[in-house]
Amino acid sequence: MKRVIAMLALAATMCGAVQAQKFEGIALTPQMGWNSWNKFACEINEELIRETADAMVEKGLAAAGYEYINLDDCWHAAERDADGFIQCDAERFPSGIKALADYVHERGLKLGIYSDAGRHTCGGRLGSFGHEYQDALQYARWGVDYLKYDWCETENINARGAYTLMRDALYAAGRPILFSMCEWGTDKPWEWAADVAHSWRTTGDIWCSFDQIYQHGTWQALSAMHILDLTADLRRYAGPGHWNDPDMLEVGNGMTQAEDRAHFTMWCMLSAPLILGNDIRTVSDQTLEILLNERVIAIDQDPLGVQGYRFLRDGDLEVWLKPLQGGCWAFCLLNRGSEAREYTVDWAAFDWTDEEVSKLSTDFSTKIYDIENLWVEGKKSAEGTTRKPKSVVVDSHDVVLYRLSPKTK
Ligand code: GLA
């Protein structure tokens, strides 16, 4: 009898050992990279991807932390091969995905790919439905590092089941792949996906607008500010290895410099994945000033991984707080209005304990912080302390972002 029990225990342990899960140790801070969709939609080919990988390195973006080069929709061939394996479009990607992954890896970067839980992708290419294990195996063989998994043509499939199935397929294929869910927040993935994926989209698609919705007929594209509002209250669900994803960046795609700065800053305040959506081969110096601001990126990438909190809404002015490692805080003023706004920060009024996530307190009444203005360069960025109230002008559709560090003497 004892032997039977011992064997049953061994069997149970072995089952446990092979039990599927998501890959751990990935995206401990929000992922950073580039994706083809926002700028190029279906117009992609291997030359573009190679040039983008080169530009990522040449423009200093790789050194700043942008790591993934992600193919979005439309890389696929029209048919699977005779064995049912997914293939790339041989005209657009004549060298194949494996060669592309090698090229990207040689530059110290990682390659991402895109599929869909339904029979077809949103762009009408072949989806993974019924081929999940085969597709995961193919990506692993190609050396892919990231999968964005979309939600078109899924009819009445259960979302949790479909995403867990692909998670398990990726795990079985054995190559650590970041799993990025793109289900638009329809089934509230933040409530159930922390052990399924490394990030989940919180909303429908972004388009290049600060605060206007775009009607596409059957669906609407959302502005940066709409997405900010829809993601603001989900902070308790995010953390290292499992992030709210408010969609890819539109920085450099046509908003004003102030709007781009505000969009980028608020994504950092949200601890969002920073996935560039512009043409980085031809990126302007102005846009690079935003994308390469390492002190702002550090707000997004702070190891605590706590999403920021909207503390105040005063008409068009908002104040956001984000706890950072080492007792520091990000303090961000956002002006959504069309006029510049003057505001006096009375620090004691921002005394706050983050009961919901980090349990940390600002303690402005009892602690003094040094103020560093993160959008100002050099010595001028040191703007005194929180000992007395601070007057600030926030331009229209712009932000002022401070890093507050406990004063040591
Ligand atoms: C959906 C996704 C987008 C993009 C397109 C591709 O709309 O939400 O991010 O991947 O599909 O067709």
Tell me which residues have their CB closer than 6 angstroms to ligand 1. 37, 72-73, 121-123, 150, 182, 205
Cα torsion through 209, 210, 214, 220, rounded to 10: 110
Nearest protein CA to atom 9 of ligand 1, as residue: 205
Nearest protein CA to atom 5 of ligand 1, as residue: 122
3-state secondary structure 9-21: HHHHHHHHHHCCC
Contact 361, 347 (CB under 8 A): no
| Number of the ligand 1 atom closest to the C-alpha atom of 72 | 10
- Mutation test residue for ligand 1: of 35, 36, 72, the one with most atoms within 8 Å of CB: 72
pLDDT at 3: 60
Write down the pTM of the prediction. 0.95
395 is catalytic: no
CA 341: distance to chain centroid? 30
pLDDT at 11 > cutoff 60: no
Residue 239 DSSP class: B
Please enumerate, as own/partner, the contacts of 219-224 that have beta carbons within 8 Å and a separation of 24 or more.
Answer: 222/247, 224/250, 224/255, 224/259, 224/262, 224/263, 224/266
Contact 294, 64 (CB under 8 A): yes
Beta bridge partners of 405: 370
205 is catalytic: yes
| Number of the ligand 1 atom closest to the C-alpha atom of 247 | 9
For the ranges 13-17, 111-115, 345-349, the lowest mean pLDDT is seen at 13-17
Overall average pLDDT of the 160-179 stretch: 98
| Number of the ligand 1 atom closest to the C-alpha atom of 148 | 10
pLDDT at 1 > cutoff 90: no
Rounded (10°) angle between helices 132-142 and 96-106: 50
Domains of the chain: 2-300 (3.20.20.70), 309-406 (2.60.40.1180)
Cα–Cα distance, 38 to 34 (Å, whole number): 10
pLDDT at 270 > cutoff 70: yes
pLDDT at 2: 55
| Number of the ligand 1 atom closest to the C-alpha atom of 205 | 8
CA-wise closest residue to 264 among 253, 251, 273:
251
Overall average pLDDT of the 88-102 stretch: 98
Query: Which of these is catalytic: 150, 245, 302, 398?
Result: 150
- Residue 71 CA to ligand 1 center (angstroms) comes to 11
Percent of the chain predicted with pLDDT > 70: 95
Overall average pLDDT of the 295-305 stretch: 99
Q: pLDDT tens across 49-66, in order?
A: 999 999 999 999 999 999
Residue 361 DSSP class: B
For the ranges 25-34, 213-222, 282-291, the lowest mean pLDDT is seen at 213-222
φ/ψ (deg, to 5) at 392: -145, 145
pLDDT at 20: 85
Query: Which of these is catalytic: 135, 205, 247, 354?
Result: 205
pLDDT at 10 > cutoff 70: no
